Structure 1
Amino acid sequence: MMNTGDGAATSRYVGKQGADWWRGAVIYQIYPRSFMDSRGDGIGDLQGVIDRLDYIASLNVDAIWLSPFFTSPMKDFGYDISDYCDVDPMFGTLEDFDRLVEAAHVRGLKVTIDQVLSHTSDRHAWFEESRQRRDNPKADWYVWADPKADGAPPTNWQSVFGGSAWQWDTRRCQYYLHNFLASQPDVNFHCPEAVDAILESVRFWLERGVDGFRLDAVNFCTHGELKDNPPRQEITESFLGVRPDNPYGYQLHQFDKTQPENLRFLERLRALLDEYPGTTSVGEVGDDDALGVMAEYSQGGHRLHMCYSFNLLTDKSDPGYLHETLTEMEARIGDGWPCWALGNHDVTRLATRWQGEGQLEKLRLFMAFLLTQRGSVCLYQGEELGLPEAQLTFDQLVDPAGITFWPAYKGRDGCRTPHPWEADARQAGFSSAVPWLPIPAVHRALAVDQQEHDAGSLLNAYRDFLAFRRDQPALVKGAVSFRPVRDNVLCFERYYQQTRLLVALNFSDQPARLAAPKQTAALADAPAWINGEWREGHLALPPYGIAIARCEMTPEEAPWDV
């Protein structure tokens, strides 16, 4: 599992899927603070994850993604790192992490971890040294700039969390850049020594046996010229969750992120990962042209393995929008590889955002949509239970974004509340103490123990469909071809070698009927709730219905006429 130190990697855990296991993989995102508390302090920890690995394996996913567990002052709940190479005591120890990796591998689960490379905490030793004076060894490891003649910040760049992206520091009498909180200074990726140190921190975890990295805000790593960003002509919601109440959305972000120089860093990062066969990377992209950046960052086999964006993490769920997003991605990505998600720790929970709350058929439809697309998939903890967004009061919030923008924006706490394990247990089985965020009553009713033995539950629908998907190479690694949307039905084919599958998803509360080829056969091993009826020459779909069938037609023949 370890690197010998001379650049040649020894064998590591690869598993039966091979070195490209990540292509089409389903990755289960764990927010450690909220998954399972083993120590009774109200905060989830690494031992808690170990204790629940059997549950995760039972979902039939391929890997886990751990949100940050590094040493941190927790101003942004772990996304402000003060030591890249250690575990914060609230989560456990390095030894706990090593045991987690080993235990996951025993269960056939890969382990990917968050890497927040574009910025650190202001408590990081690098920054504490950098800010002391302008001529110390780490003076250029962060983005420092002189004020304008009138003392104003160097540019008009805005922070994602509101206000100027520049913070004045009296030690150096300069401003430093922070694209997020003022306590999250941006690393200077134009400084070779800083980049070398960043890459060594990645190597540290590779040496501990991790299988991959989710790269937070990866297109923010490199800034451009210190020039003002131009204004937007129209203030609209962007894919970073930015709203008209946040001045960040008032600019076109021409100079502060997504710079061409970032590609060189990604190529160095990929070269490092290639020293450790079987590892992977997935970059988070937040940009107006996120699909184009996803394509550029994952093409050619020498940058990232895959990327995901916020394009499916918005409120838009109509099949026309989904079709437009997916077909544009296919037109642009070439030999790159997408990763899709419908939920994560930064957005309103899927069941509320796409208004599937309380509708099992609708939630199953959303699941089938995600798990039949070409690409890899990230599932956020609690999605398999259909958890809705927790409705919190202002005095219950801890998220700095929610506190800043209340009441127009209620923050991210509503999707980060503890995972409910047992409906009637103290703190829903998450902890023996009062948890860091409250557990709403509606989540108790959807707890694991309430769904575990119900064959018709959403939890078991996820298990069944993920097991079914594993045995369908066309759904895991196959190509895709989309048909026009008609009557709110999204239709496409997935094909791999000699296998061709037809998929139809009815996003309407009305039944649908469409023409279908006669040479189709429903899949006998598909879950029973895949309920489209393939009849001679047509397909009948109930409201929110799902259909998957094998087609004997050749790729040159039109698979259906809709």
Structure 2
Amino acid sequence: MTGAATPEDHWRGAVVYQVYPRSFRDGSGDGIGDLPGIIEKLPYIASLGVDAVWISPFFASPMHDFGYDVSDYRAVEPMFGTLADADRLVAEAHRLGLKVLIDFVLAHTSDEHPWFKDSRVSREGAHADWYIWADPKPDGSPPNNWLSVFGGGAWGWEPRRRQYYLHHFLSTQPKLNLRHEPVVNALEEIAAWWLDRGVDGFRLDAVDFMVSDPAMPDNPPHPTRRIALRPYNMQLHENDLAHPETVDVLMRLRRVMDDYPDTFAIAEVGSEPAKMTPLERAEYYTAQTHDPRIHMAYTLGLMKGPGTATAIRDAIEHVETHINSGWLCWAFSNHDVERVVSRWGDGSPASAKLFNALLLSLRGAVCVYQGEELGLTEAEVPQDRLRDPYGITYYPHFKGRDGSRTPMPWTAEPPAGGFSDSGEADLWLPLPPEHLERCVARQEADPESVLAHWRRFIDWRRTQDPLRFGALTMLPAGDPVLAFEREHDGARLVCAFNLGAEPATVAVPAGSTAAEGHGWTATAPDADGVVRLDGWGAWFGTR
């Protein structure tokens, strides 16, 4: 990547904390998290040393996909609070020095949105062309073979129009027509409306699904996924995803945001290879060489890949050599994937500390998901308590996303761990007993906890210009060790990470001297320049 994280472009080195509102803090006592609960805990978020908070959708919604099916972009869903609560949240965050990003769903709406209610009744109405509609084939079947991520075909029949509408996810999430000028104009107005209310930017959901091939050809079969658990994975998504015109929409949003200083947006890139790999799409969406596109992107491709030193090294090297004028936001977890300490680690606090430090050492911005600073493991949610339609469809072979969405544990008291005043049966998802052992209150009293380690490391990171602004160069190391050097204005910092539970060694550059203050024992290299790393251990040195 070209460019550097400078105070002028603060977003390049920002650390963004993601809040999933339903699961953060229940201020009303109904078992569901809400905006007043987030406001109550904003001082905690500020204490983590992060720069911004990203809040997953709280717009009006029937909640079939838990807020990612918006029925009114300018209203707050009553279970989360009011528009006045949203304004109060922004004001309090700003008072604490935090920027606020909100989730902006551009690809689709709820089928209960007034736009779609009007669009579905006639081919002639004011909103007739606001969604993707297509005639059936002569035999009455859908126009092509595109499939929904959540199962089944990607086309829903509307008898009043005698046409199919496109939905990439649930049938209740119809796809917006982002080639239709009035649609993009309306979304620009919504973005400006929230920016005028003081939000500092957006996380852009499902960017790959914003624009597809207008000719609607069939997708070809995937060459290796012959009989996959999810039929969606049996196709190469060359025609339904990531059309080049996606950047036209992103550039228009960027121009709106450029009228609001110090705002920024993060685009979500999926994991499917389409015509470009996820990392290639991240470059395409964020390139700044001509007309600036969106500020930065993160990719689910990294999160859903193996957490080996080799895989992460390959991702870093690709970013450094191919994402030229663009910018990456690194993320190891979010509300859509298994928690990193269970997915890549062994569930231990040691592995949680390691992955947090690695994330904060990479070049680019950072997104950290709520609970990662506690080392929360993936929860096992009983089948009768599942809420995610994705998991319900494919259970038990795929249990969906509920395991990463369980309530935040604030105290060790069962049943609700300070998340809510409700009883356990009233919580929207159960709070795992093992999470109570890793609650905020206990970790704040333990100087060796994952939380204490996070705070020490991010405080130390703030003093290290190479980590905040520097270039990155990979260093020789074999699995399970990952090593690189960060350099800024002649200051060099060597970073080595053992991504395994057993001790390992790494040879560090000559002249390296152990750094201190980051949370690990500062062991000096031996006479041969070799450093011994504990299982899930890290080493930092200057030279």
What TM bracket, shorter-length normalisation?
over 0.9
Does 2:432 match 1:440? yes
Say if 2:458 is the partner of 1:466. Answer: yes
Please name the residue that 1:265 is paired with: 249
Comparing 513-522 with 128-137, greater Cα deviation is found at 513-522
Q: For each residue in 1:165-202, what CA deviation from the matched residue of structure 2 results, as whole angstroms up to 9, or x when unmatched?
A: 00001111100000010000000011111111111111
State the Cα RMSD in Å.
1.5
TM alignment of 1:109-508, pairs within 5 A: 109-224=98-213, 225-235=215-225, 244-286=228-270, 287-288=272-273, 289-300=277-288, 302-314=292-304, 316-357=306-347, 359-424=348-413, 426-433=415-422, 434-508=426-500
- Distance in 1 between residues matched to 2:391 and 2:223, nearest whole Å: 27
Preserved CA contact (<8 Å) 1:487 1:512: no
Q: Tell me by how many angstroms 1:219 deviates.
A: 1.7
Q: Counterpart of 2:288 in structure 1: which amino acid? A: G
Asked if 2 retains the 8 angstrom alpha-carbon contact of 1:294 and 1:307, the reply is yes
- In 1, are the aligned partners of 2:457 and 2:519 still within 8 Å (CA)? no
Aligned pair count reads 527
Aligned partner letter, 1:164:
G
Task: Give the conservation status (yes or no) of the 8 Å contact 1:532–1:546.
Answer: no
Equivalences for residues 54-73 of structure 1 within 5 A: 54-73=43-62
Distance 2:359 2:521 in 1: 14
Residues 349 and 388 of structure 1 are in contact (CA less than 8 Å); yes or no, is this contact kept in structure 2?
yes
Residues 228, 255 of structure 1: 8 Å contact kept: yes
Of 530-539 and 370-379, more deviation after overlay is shown by 530-539
Tell me whether 1:545 sits opposite 2:537 in the alignment. Answer: yes
CA, structure 1 residues 522+46, in 2 after alignment: closer, same or farther (shift >3 Å)? same
Which whole-Å CA distance do the structure 1 matches of 2:521 and 2:333 have between them?
23
Which position in structure 2 is the counterpart of 1:3?
A: none
Contact 2:494 2:542 in 1 (8 A): yes
Distance 1:346 1:297 in 2: 21
Structure 2: which amino acid aligns with 1:496?
Answer: H
Structure 1 position 529 matched with structure 2 position 520: yes
Match of 1:91 in 2: 80
The separation in 2 between residues aligned to 1:37 and 1:508, in whole angstroms, is 37
The answer (yes or no) to whether the contact 1:317–1:354 under 8 Å persists in 2 is: yes
Q: 1:530 to 1:307 in 2, by over 3 A?
A: farther
Once the two structures are superposed, residues 479-522 of structure 1 have per-residue CA deviations (whole angstroms, 9 ceiling, x without a partner) of: 11112332521110111122111111122333333333342222
Q: In 2, distance between residues paired with 1:426 and 1:233?
A: 48
Following TM superposition, where does structure 1 have runs of at least 4 consecutive aligned residues deviating by more than 6 angstroms?
A: none
Q: Which range moves more in the overlay, 291-300 or 68-77?
A: 291-300
Give the superposition deviation at 1:549. Answer: 1.2
CA distance in structure 2 between the partners assigned to 1:155 and 1:126 by the alignment: 25
Contact 1:530 1:545 in 2 (8 A): no
CA distance in 1, matches of 2:386, 2:445: 34
Measured in 2, the distance between the counterparts of 1:487 and 1:549 equals: 20
Superposition deviation, residue 532 in structure 1? 4.3
**Per-residue deviation at 1:25?**
0.9
The letter of the residue matching 1:268 is: R
Amino acid of the structure 2 residue aligned with 1:173: R
Q: Secondary structure at the match of 1:411?
A: coil
Read off the aligned partner of 1:297 and give its amino acid letter.
Answer: Y
- 1:421 is displaced (CA, Å) by 0.5
Could you tell me how far 1:536 is from its partner in structure 2?
A: 4.3
Query: How far is 1:295 from its partner?
Result: 0.8
Secondary structure of 1:53's match?
helix
Unaligned runs of 5+ in 2: 1-5
* TM-superposition CA deviations, 1:436-467 (whole Å, max 9, x none): 11111101111111111100000111111111
Structure 1 Cα separation of the partners of residues 401 and 524 of structure 2: 41
Matches within 5 A, 1:503-514: 503-514=495-506
Q: 1:181 to 1:532 in 2, by over 3 A?
A: farther
Cα distance in 1, alignment partners of residues 152 and 114 from structure 2: 26
Corresponding position of 1:559: none
Conserved 8 A contact 1:72-1:121: yes
- 2:65 is equivalent to residue 81 of structure 1: no
Amino acid at match of 2:71: S
Q: How many Å separate the matches in 2 of 1:530 and 1:326?
A: 26
Report deviation, 1:530: 4.8
How far off its partner does 1:477 sit?
2.3
Letter in 2 for 1:544: W
Give the aligned residue type for 1:246.
Answer: R
Q: Which residue of 1 aligns with 2:90?
A: 101
Deviation (angstroms), 1:363 = 1.7
Structure 1 residue matching 2:302: 3-state secondary structure? coil
Q: 1:530 to 1:368 in 2, by over 3 A?
A: farther
2:3 aligns to what?
A: none
In terms of mean alpha carbon deviation, does 120-129 or 507-516 score higher?
A: 507-516
Provide, for residues 248-301 of structure 1, a one-character-per-residue CA deviation record: whole Å limited to 9, x for no partner.
111111111100111111111111111111000100011311000001111116
Q: Which moved more, 1:108-117 or 1:417-426?
A: 417-426
- Contact 1:531–1:546 (CA<8 Å) still a contact in 2? no
SS where residue 61 of structure 1 aligns? coil
Higher mean C-alpha deviation, range 297-306 or range 122-131:
297-306
Percent identity, please.
48
* Counterpart secondary structure, 2:298: strand
Alpha-carbon distance in structure 1 between the residues aligned to 2:492 and 2:7? 23
Q: Is the 8 A contact 1:23 1:376 kept in 2?
A: yes
Distance in 2 separating the partners of 1:162 and 1:548: 46
1:360 positional shift? 2.3
Q: Secondary structure at the match of 2:301?
A: coil
Superposed CA deviations along residues 53-72 of structure 1, whole A, max 9, x for unmatched, are 11111111111000000000
Deviations 1:281-338 (A, max 9, x none): 1000113110000011111161111000013312511101111111112111012110
> Amino acid of the residue matched to residue 38 of structure 1?
G
Q: Secondary structure at the match of 1:364?
A: helix
Contact residue 323 and residue 485 of structure 1 kept, 8 A: no
> Are the counterparts in 2 of residues 217 and 284 from structure 1 also a CA contact under 8 Å?
yes
SS at match of 1:23: helix
SS in 2 for 1:320: helix
Does the Cα contact within 8 Å between 2:61 and 2:110 map onto a contact in 1? Answer: yes
Q: Bigger CA drift: 18-27 or 118-127?
A: 18-27
**CA pair 75-154 structure 1, distance change in 2 beyond 3 A:** same
Q: CA deviation at 1:356?
A: 2.6
Q: Find the residue that maps to 1:141 and give its secondary structure.
A: coil
